[in-house]
Structure 1
Amino acid sequence: MLPDALQLADPETMSDLRTFLARARTVEDGQARLQVVGAALAIYVPVLAQEAIGSTVPTVLGLRVAKLAEATADGLVAVYELGALTDRLARAGEMDTALPLPPAESRAAWAGITPPLSGWEARGEYDDGALSAEAEAGMHAVAEALPPNAGRPVLDTVRGRIWSAPCQNGPVDVDLPLGAAFAAESLGFLRPGARSQLFGQGRWLRLSSSGGHTLVRQGASLL
């Protein structure tokens, strides 16, 4: 049975989570997957996800880890609508530390694909400024390529072509999709003058930045 709320470590953690989820909702107003491991709460949100068979849009998730007051709900895994979470956080006070959980869970195809928690191997690093510049260029390219009133199939094709292209400013032997730079920039993970570390595990890549983690599943369909 799921608890009614999760007790976060302090008000600052609550505020940080409120900002992260609100930003995630502006990128993709979908669901969030919550997973408790010990005294840590992992929050996964979708940035890019395949919505049709044969789609070339890469699967890209954002991950933020929040500290819990104590390990009281170890093993919890649940998926909720982002709007339901942000609405409850908006009603919480500035000094509150209890994250209220919605009464009903949701479903999402991407949430059934679980990123690994261990076994990651270092693959190199990226300059945050270069990632930010590539993300901005990609967003401009998407906007320029889309005709007025473009339908979902056209949007999917354009996004697949642009966001699946590899980042140019990184390790030469790794094809990190440009969609990962878009995710890290859009979710506020990148910092001026900082560098993001890249890790790999099987078909997954993880870009770990100062503000959070970006996860990419390579060469796989969710459907």
Structure 2
Amino acid sequence: MRLLLPDLSSLTDVRTFVGRARQIEDGGAIRLVGHGPVLVMYAAAMHGGGGPTVLAMRVLALAEPAEFDATVPLASMADRFARIDRLMAGARPTPKSVGKPIEMPVPPTTATNAGWAGMAPPRTGWAVEGLLPQDVLRSAAKTGIDEVAAGVPSGSGAAAVARLRGIIWGRPLLGDDAPAVPSGVAFAAEAFGFLGRASASADPAQEDAATLHSAGRWWRLSTSRGHVLARSGALGF
């Protein structure tokens, strides 16, 4: 199966999303869902360990409508990008080729380690809970990343690391008296580049705030760059 993307910049967008997901879990997976003229991409920022399931979501336009739902290994997607690079090697961009649709093959292999892909967040019924400044999210992400790094001794097993991450990222982002959105949404938003780049000269009040939504057990954090979806885990966070 092949997807027809509008142009090279759209392919770069998919490649960036896959690359960021691999930095979190190199052996992970990506879920690709075609809904007519749009492509919805999901990747797990965290899952397992008793903590919350936190997914990054990015929506792109397609040059040709498609209807499908495939969850494939991230490594297989990287192989497809390498093939495209080889085919395009030596091709000099021209004004006509820059905006020309480009085919992206979807790997035929189904990922077997992505139980999170079966957890479908609702498409409708989301209620707005409020706005979150991006500097608050960046600060929460940095604090959690530092805590995870400090709490993982050398040689720790994968299960111990996953449980620690579940505890840290499952804590309420805004405190006990606020909506119980897990801190993991801050980590995912930062790790996938949905918060943009922080600038020392930027006024936090002038930055785009992230919008927080809820629907049942699900939370959604939305910015102009993408969305983070989170659902509480077995630890009760």
Normalising by structure 2, report the TM-score. 0.83
Please say if residues 51 and 233 of structure 2, whose CA atoms lie closer than 8 Å, have aligned partners that are also in contact. Answer: no
Q: In structure 1, the residue corresponding to 2:220 is in which secondary structure?
A: strand
Aligned length: 211
Measure, in 2, the Cα distance between the counterparts of 1:69 and 1:105. Answer: 24
Please say if residues 205 and 218 of structure 1, whose CA atoms lie closer than 8 Å, have aligned partners that are also in contact. Answer: no
What amino acid does structure 2 have at the position aligned with 1:35?
Answer: V
**Is 1:211 equivalent to 2:225 in the alignment?**
yes
Identity of aligned residues (%): 39
**Is 1:200 equivalent to 2:198 in the alignment?**
no
**Is 1:7 equivalent to 2:14 in the alignment?**
no
Q: In structure 1, the residue corresponding to 2:212 is in which secondary structure?
A: strand
Measure, in 2, the Cα distance between the counterparts of 1:207 and 1:104. Answer: 30
Measure, in 1, the Cα distance between the counterparts of 2:135 and 2:233. Answer: 27
Shift of 1:100: 0.9
Shift of 1:166: 1.2
Q: Which residue of 2 aligns with 1:97?
A: 102
Q: Which stretch shifts more, 76-85 or 111-120? A: 111-120
Q: 1:17 aligns with which of 14, 17, 30?
A: 14
Shift of 1:172: 5.2
What amino acid does structure 2 have at the position aligned with 1:9?
Answer: P
Shift of 1:209: 1.4
- 1:74-89 matched pairs, under 5 angstroms: 74=67, 76-89=68-81
Please say if residues 42 and 65 of structure 1, whose CA atoms lie closer than 8 Å, have aligned partners that are also in contact. Answer: yes
What amino acid does structure 1 have at the position aligned with 2:23?
Answer: T
The structure-2 alpha-carbon separation of the partners of 1:8 and 1:33, relative to structure 1 and needing over 3 Å to count, comes to same
Q: CA RMSD in A?
A: 2.0
Shift of 1:131: 0.3
Runs of 4+ in 1 over 4 A off after TM superposition: none
- 1:122-133 matched pairs, under 5 angstroms: 122-133=128-139
Shift of 1:219: 4.4
Shift of 1:116: 1.4
Shift of 1:91: 3.0
**Is 1:106 equivalent to 2:106 in the alignment?**
no
The structure-2 alpha-carbon separation of the partners of 1:179 and 1:36, relative to structure 1 and needing over 3 Å to count, comes to same
**Is 1:176 equivalent to 2:181 in the alignment?**
yes
Shift of 1:215: 0.4
Please say if residues 170 and 232 of structure 2, whose CA atoms lie closer than 8 Å, have aligned partners that are also in contact. Answer: no
Please say if residues 31 and 43 of structure 2, whose CA atoms lie closer than 8 Å, have aligned partners that are also in contact. Answer: yes
Gaps of 5+ in 2: 199-206
Gaps of 5+ in 1: none
Please say if residues 203 and 219 of structure 1, whose CA atoms lie closer than 8 Å, have aligned partners that are also in contact. Answer: no
Measure, in 2, the Cα distance between the counterparts of 1:97 and 1:35. Answer: 18
- 1:119-198 matched pairs, under 5 angstroms: 119-168=125-174, 173-191=178-196, 192=198, 193-198=207-212
Q: Which has the larger radius of gyration?
A: 2
Normalising by structure 1, report the TM-score. 0.88
Q: In structure 2, the residue corresponding to 1:45 is in which secondary structure?
A: strand
Measure, in 1, the Cα distance between the counterparts of 2:188 and 2:6. Answer: 26
Please say if residues 20 and 187 of structure 1, whose CA atoms lie closer than 8 Å, have aligned partners that are also in contact. Answer: yes
